[in-house]
């Protein structure tokens, strides 16, 4: 008969009880063994020593002496074994209770984590490196699960928030088409297509940023020339820059060292930064992508600087947060998914690098700087 899922399984004696029983059996076995050996070996050795020392003039005296030895030996051995057994049992009870409490604490914490309480932490029991390692691993697991759960909740909230506008737009235009209020002219078709592209881009970006933030993205690390990666990213974005009338400048210092990195992923991060610079730079402005070796930091610095909107100081700490917008109305009009910078930072950090941003303020442009370590 199967036990219902919501009914706890019946268990026998706990771990502490089983440990205590096992240790008691070991102590009893050891005491009995000591008693049997002393009872069988001791008298014969004593008799042999009596004979060598010529102690006792008559057999009756020898027998009395041996009986006195056996009696004294039995009493002293019994008392010694009894005291040793009591002391050992006391220590065993204390130790097994400590182990039992520690195991119970971890078991209860595991049940809480299974119930969705990821803030549970287990203190180190102080029972040795193995138990401390177990507690530490459990705490790391709970912290990891908590992080995943927080990411999941943010992801659902972000998706619901970001999908609302394109879905509402699509629904409104489809209803207008059905009612005959609107016609499927080229302008309407382009608007509907842009909203579906926005949803597709949002879906792809959400998957990418979730993988990178949870450390699940795979990197194809190879030794490459960073200059080729930068030029490829600039070439991919050049058409969009020309269309908008924004100048794209590359400034790469000669002699950049080879780096171990995933060229596709770093190219994706650079592409996101270039796209961000393009969206926030008006026609006639300039976006510059540059690279130089930085011996002082032990890495290579790549920066994407624009002459566009700029970022107020109070917004700088938040620009890499998913769906964070400095100017909500303008960003939505620009068509960004709101997570391009989060993806760029996650990809750079997956390579052991850093992505930072500086800006003098509104209207003064901004500079995003990547530091890639030399390996």
Please tell me the distance from the alpha carbon of residue 283 to that of residue 308, in angstroms, as a whole number: 9
**Strand, helix or coil for residue 181:** coil
pLDDT at 286: 94
Say if CB 285 and CB 308 are below 8 A apart. yes
Per-residue tokens: 275: 């796209």
CATH 3.30.1380.20 fits 147-213, yes or no: no
pLDDT at 357: 93
pLDDT at 18: 67
pLDDT at 328: 47
Place of tokens 């080879």: 258
Say if CB 375 and CB 219 are below 8 A apart. no
Please tell me the distance from the alpha carbon of residue 68 to that of residue 55, in angstroms, as a whole number: 14
Q: Sign of dihedral through CA atoms 19, 23, 28, 30?
A: positive
CA distances from 317 to 4, 250, 343, 368 (A): 50, 27, 16, 13
- Return the domain boundaries, the chain: 15-117, 147-213, 222-373
Say if CB 74 and CB 43 are below 8 A apart. no
Question: What does each of the 375 residues of the chain score in pLDDT, given as a tens digit?
Answer: 444 444 444 444 555 566 667 767 776 777 777 767 766 666 666 666 666 666 555 666 666 666 666 666 667 767 777 777 777 777 777 777 777 777 777 777 778 777 777 777 777 766 667 777 877 887 888 887 877 777 677 767 766 666 776 788 788 888 888 887 777 788 778 878 877 877 777 777 677 766 766 666 778 889 999 999 999 999 888 888 999 999 999 999 988 888 999 888 898 899 889 989 998 999 999 999 999 987 777 789 999 999 988 888 888 888 887 666 665 444 444 445 567 888 888 889 888 899 999 998 888 889 999 999 886
Rg (CA), the chain: 38
Enclosing H/E stretch for 157: helix 129-179
Architecture per CATH, 222-373: 2-Layer Sandwich (3.30)
Torsion of CA 91, 94, 96, 99, to 10 degrees: -130
């Amino acid at each position: 008969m199967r036990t219902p899922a919501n009914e706890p399984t019946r268990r026998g004696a706990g771990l502490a009880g089983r440990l205590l029983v096992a240790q008691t059996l070991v102590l009893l076995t050891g005491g009995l063994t000591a008693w049997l050996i002393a009872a069988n070996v001791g008298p014969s050795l004593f008799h042999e020593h009596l004979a060598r020392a010529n102690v006792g003039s008559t057999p009756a005296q020898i027998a009395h002496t041996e009986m006195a030895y056996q009696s004294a030996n039995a009493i002293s051995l019994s008392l010694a074994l009894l005291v040793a057994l009591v002391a050992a049992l006391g220590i065993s009870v204390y130790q097994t209770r400590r182990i039992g409490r520690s195991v119970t604490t971890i078991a209860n914490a595991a049940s809480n984590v299974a119930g969705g309480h990821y803030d549970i932490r287990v203190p180190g029991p102080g029972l040795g490196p193995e138990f401390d390692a177990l507690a530490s691993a459990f705490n790391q697991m709970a912290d990891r699960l908590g992080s995943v759960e927080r990411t999941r909740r943010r992801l659902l909230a972000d998706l619901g928030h970001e999908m609302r506008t394109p879905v509402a737009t699509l629904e409104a235009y489809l209803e207008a088409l059905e009612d005959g209020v609107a016609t499927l002219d080229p302008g309407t078709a382009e608007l509907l297509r842009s909203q579906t592209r926005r949803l597709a881009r949002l879906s792809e970006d959400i998957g990418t940023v979730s993988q990178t933030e949870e450390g699940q993205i795979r990197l194809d690390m190879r030794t490459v020339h960073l200059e080729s990666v930068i030029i490829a990213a600039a070439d991919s974005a050049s058409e969009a820059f020309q269309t908008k009338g924004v100048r794209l400048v590359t400034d790469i210092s000669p002699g950049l060292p080879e780096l171990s990195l995933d060229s596709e992923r770093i190219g994706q991060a650079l592409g996101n930064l270039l796209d961000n610079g393009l969206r926030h730079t008006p026609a006639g402005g300039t976006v510059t992508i540059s690279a130089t070796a930085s011996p002082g930091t032990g890495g290579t610095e790549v920066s994407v600087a624009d002459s566009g909107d700029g970022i107020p100081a109070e917004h700088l700490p938040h620009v890499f947060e998913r769906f964070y917008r400095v100017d909500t109305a303008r960003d939505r009009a620009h068509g960004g998914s709101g997570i391009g910078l989060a993806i760029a930072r996650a990809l750079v950090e997956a390579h052991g690098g850093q992505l930072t941003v500086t800006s003098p303020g509104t209207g003064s442009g901004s500079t995003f700087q990547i530091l890639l370590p030399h390996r």
